[in-house]
Each structure stands twice: as C-alpha cells, then as structure tokens.
Structure 1
Amino acid sequence: MSCSQNLAAPEDLHPSLWRASQLARAGTRCVDTGHAALSSQLPGGGWPVGTLVDLLLQQPGIGEMRLLRPALAAATGRRIVLLQPPHTPQALALAALGVPPSQLIWLRTSRGADALWAAEQVLRSGSCGALLFWANHARGESLRRLHLAAQCGETLFFMMRPLASAQDSSPAPLRLSLRPAPGGLDISFVKRRGPQRDAPLFLPLNPIVFQRHASVDRPVFAPAAARGVQPALVQ
C-alpha cells in the first residue's frame, strides 16, 4: 500500500481543514439556496445557519431578495427580521416571495449602534428563522460580535453591505459579491472554504409576478424601534 493511501483526509483530522482543490465540509447545518448552480459552489451545498454570511452589493435592490427567496420561504413558521432595509417593505412583494407579512418583523433605527445591538439580540434569542441586516458601515469588532452571536442558534444571518466592503476583513466564512446582470446576477466568491474561483457565476433570476388585485404601495406595517426588539421576539 502506498504512503498516499495511508494519509488521512484533512477534514478527518479537524473539521476546519480541507484540501485546497475541494469544497470544505459544512461546519453547521445548511439550507438549500434553491439555485442548483449556486448550491454546488458552496460548502455543504447551501446557506450555512448559525453563522455570518456576507452579501456585498453593487447597490441595494439588484435581486438580493429574489436570490434569498427559496431560503426565506423555507423558514415558514419562524420569524424573519428585516433590519434597516433600504426601502419600506411591501406586502405584495413579500407575498410574491412566498413570505407571509405576518411572519416578519421590521426594525429601523437612526443610530448604527442601536442597529448592531438589535441584530445581536435577534441572533442570541434563537427565536427567528432569518435575519437580513443592511449596513453601510460595520467595524471588524462589530462583525466578530455578530458572528459569535449567530453561533448561539440556527438563524440564517445575511448582512447586505456595499461592494467596497470586500476589501475589508470579515470573520464570515462565506462572502459573495453581487452585481446586476441581464436576467439575473453575477456572483463572485470573495471568500469560501474551498478553491478560489476567479470567474463569476451567472445566476438567472425570475422576475416577481404580482397579483393584479393587490396594492403595490401598501406597506407591511409600521417599523418597530430597535430597542423594542426583545418584546417583539417573545410575543
């Protein structure tokens, strides 16, 4: 028997090790992205729960909600928190995404520190299926606190940040940059536990189809104050 046959697989020695030519095993449970081409490029074959996932956007509204649509729809029965979304959530759009408005908590604050505090409370509560947090600026220390808080439960945690943030370090094991493309998104793999991929992945996204009788301009509900997040989570 050759020496190479006696070598143990890196992941058998420690879960944080993997061969550079292969995708690592997922350290946590993963939720299918609903997009086969994307799932095949991610460790564990989906979005990891209980960890920070960095989505770096050229600009908000380029299709990030359609990208997350299957994962959010799969969180049926658990609360989904929208923290600092760039636009007022609309009942029609959320229903078209397969997310009942009654399942959502919308949080808005005027201070970045309050938004970070609210995100940490949501993650540590473990009561929500997903947290989507839009943040223009976040220090490395704040990201590390949120990443640790996410490990307290099994919440899908996505931070939507500007594309320029790709130049900054982040504890997130998965970082994707998203750029609009005709009919979908170009996704680049800024960081993943696996081989480097230089070419972006084009992911086609279907447009959202609205029902004619619904009102596009009807907001979901009034936003909750960030400091009132704990009572909202235990209702």
Structure 2
Amino acid sequence: MNNLIGSSPRHPGLWQDEAKLSKGVSRMPSHTQGVQELQTLTPELARLSQQGQWIVLISPPNIGYKQMLAQAGVRMDRILLVHAKDEIETLWAMEKALTSGTSSAVICWAPMLDSRDNRRLELVAKSATALGVVIESGSDHIAAQLPSVADVHVNQGSLFSAFH
C-alpha cells in the first residue's frame, strides 16, 4: 500500500489539483465602490483573460471599470457583464458563475453580507471552479474586522473561472 507510482502517492485523495484547492471566495470591504480593489486585481485579470475563459463582473457600479480593465491589458471580449436587480439575484449569479466551469474570475459588488450570505458563499466555494471576489460596501467598524485588499493573496492561475 505504501508503494509509489513515480513520485506520486497512490491514494486518490492526494491526487487533487493544487489549483482547484486554492479556489474560493474572498471578501473585500470597500469605501471607493471597488475602484482600489479592482485596480489591485487588474494584473491577474489581464493574465486570466488570455486563457480564453470568462471574467464575470456582477452588478458593477459606474466606476470606469471598462477603461481600467482595457488599460491593464484585459481582453474585453472575455468580459461577461451581469446586471442583477437585487442582492439575492447578485449572489445567485455569483454562485452560478463560480460553479459553471467556464469562468476564470468572478467579481461581484454587493452591500455588506450577513452571516447567512457568508455561509452560502462558503458552501459555494467548496465546489467553485474559480476564485471569486465580493467587493462589499459597508460601515467602518465592520470593514475593519474583515481582511483588507493587501491581506488577500492572489493565486496565479486560480483567481477565477468562466461562465456562459
């Protein structure tokens, strides 16, 4: 049972793709409607857009994101824009985009999430084929308890997935 095939252990649970293990959902509190957070993500989004999968933007505010992404070298033909009518539809769209297998990145703009929505995203992150980012608007005392943009580690090749 302890035999190795090449340098790989024989137990199938250990064969999982490392990129898949690093996928998930990050929350980024914002007081700039996501401008600073999106600027932080643009180099990775540019790289991911070259892979041919979708970069999904859900309910982005009018912050000049098109110009920001284009200037960073993001392929604009790989951007999928979703306009949701409310927070429930926004989170549903994010869930579907994260688990579809066709996106390389999913970014949504939402108000501060409650514990129920946080739990929902934790469960979705387990089956996500992409790493998603929720840019949250909210109060200072709550945002201070959450990880900042500088604390969020952007993993090469695993930030997002595509969605059709």
**What stretches of structure 2 of length at least 5 have no aligned partner?**
1-17, 154-161
Q: Which has the higher helix share?
A: 2
* Greater Rg over alpha carbons, structure: 1
Cα distance 1:62–1:102, how it changes in 2: closer, same or farther (>3 A)? closer
Deviation at 1:59, TM superposition (A): 2.2
Deviation per CA, 1:61-88, whole angstroms, max 9, x where unpaired?
5422220012112212210000111116
Deviation per CA, 1:7-56, whole angstroms, max 9, x where unpaired?
xxxxxxxxxxxxxxxxxxxxx639xxxxxxxxxxxxxxxxx842111111
CA distance in 2, matches of 1:116, 1:130: 15
CA distance in 2, matches of 1:131, 1:141: 20
Question: Aligned pair 1:143/2:118, yes or no?
Answer: yes
Pick aligned residue for 1:52 from 25, 31, 36: 25
Question: Contact 1:80 / 1:128 at 8 angstroms: preserved in 2?
Answer: yes
Deviation per CA, 1:111-142, whole angstroms, max 9, x where unpaired?
21111111111112122101111111322111
Q: Which of the pair has the greater relative contact order for Cα pairs under 8 Å at 6+ separation?
A: 2
Paired residue secondary structure (2:44): helix
Question: Aligned pair 1:158/2:133, yes or no?
Answer: yes
CA distance in 2, matches of 1:159, 1:125: 17
The 4+ residue runs of structure 1 with deviation greater than 6 A are none
Identity of aligned residues (%): 25
**What stretches of structure 1 of length at least 5 have no aligned partner?**
1-27, 31-47, 179-186, 193-231
TM-score, with length taken from structure 2: 0.68
Q: RMSD across aligned C-alpha pairs, in angstroms?
A: 3.0
CA distance in 1, matches of 2:81, 2:105: 12
Paired residue secondary structure (1:86): coil
Pick aligned residue for 1:29 from 15, 19, 28: 19
TM-score, with length taken from structure 1: 0.50
